Amino acid sequence: MPTHPDSTDRTTASNGTTDSAAGTGATGTTDAAETDAAETDSIETDAADTIRVAFMCVRNAGRSQMATAFAERERDRRGLTDRVEIVTGGTRPADRVHEAVVEVMTEVDVDLADRTPREITIAELRSCDYVATMGCSTLDVGELGADADVDVRDWALPDPDGKDLDRVREIREDIAGRVDDLFKELVDTMDANAGDPADPSSPDADAA
């Protein structure tokens, strides 16, 4: 899996350590440098253990928002908050999530009313392990680079915009099923890696 960018809180913590070392003597500077190096190693290990998944479409106002919400719910249900990072966005984001999408997601106890579509960049996508596009020709996957270690999948879902509520509900259920299948696959991958001595996160790695 690709090594992912450090999270904001981790970056802040690292910077805080560096700042607090300013003005110390040679010994203090050396100790601070050793501490920073240890923290960097820990950050890289944590990032390597995290699976990063992106859900994207053009407007980030319908399908990708539903997929993201279901993925967040499934991640929490499975207790994978520290193992799976979820991102979403669009190539040309809308101003708001489609009203029909907000309505049908409310029916399954998911509130999308306060969510705002956002732009997603190629750099973000390159940092992911899995990218699910929604079937709207949102991405020339070649832009990710031939050597990018990214599993790109097109779910080929119909656009809910302008559809009646029954049709949007059908799309919602299709997305929920696909997200469930994806998480089963992610868990299988984690379980397989947990027993692989070549995987640094494997409990058998030290014995290999």
How would you write the pLDDT of the chain (208 residues) with one tens digit per residue? 554 444 333 333 333 433 434 444 444 444 544 544 444 343 343 455 899 999 999 999 999 999 999 999 999 999 999 999 999 999 999 999 999 999 999 999 999 999 999 999 999 999 999 999 998 755 666 677 666 689 999 999 999 999 999 999 999 999 999 999 999 999 999 999 887 655 544 545 454 4
Residue 118: its pLDDT value, please? 98
Q: Which helix (DSSP H) or strand (DSSP E) does residue 152 occupy?
A: strand 151-154
Phi and psi angles of residue 78, each rounded to the nearest 5 degrees, phi first? -90, 0
Q: Would you state the pLDDT for residue 17?
A: 39
As given in the structure block, the two tokens for residue 54 are 């992106």
pLDDT value at position 38? 45
pLDDT of residue 185: 97
Q: Reduce the DSSP state of residue 67 to 3 states and report it.
A: helix
Eight-class DSSP state of 87: E
Side chain identity at residue 172, one-letter code: R
Ranges of each domain in the chain: 49-194
Q: Whole-angstrom distance between the N-terminal and C-terminal Cα of the chain? A: 20
Which numeric CATH code is attached to 49-194?
A: 3.40.50.2300
Helix (H/G/I), strand (E/B), else coil: 18:
helix
DSSP secondary structure code for residue 62 in this structure: S
Q: Which of 81, 64, 181, 162 is nearest to 120 (CA)?
A: 64
Distances (CA, A) of 73 to 52, 77, 110: 15, 6, 9
Q: Which pLDDT does position 137 carry in this prediction?
A: 59
Backbone dihedral angles phi then psi of residue 36, each to the nearest 5 degrees: -60, -40
CB 185 within 8 A of CB 153: no
Mention every residue, 6+ apart, whose C-beta is less than 8 A from residue 34.
Answer: none
Task: Kindly provide the residue ranges of all beta strands, DSSP E only, lying in the chain, ordered along the sequence.
Answer: 51-57, 84-90, 130-133, 151-154
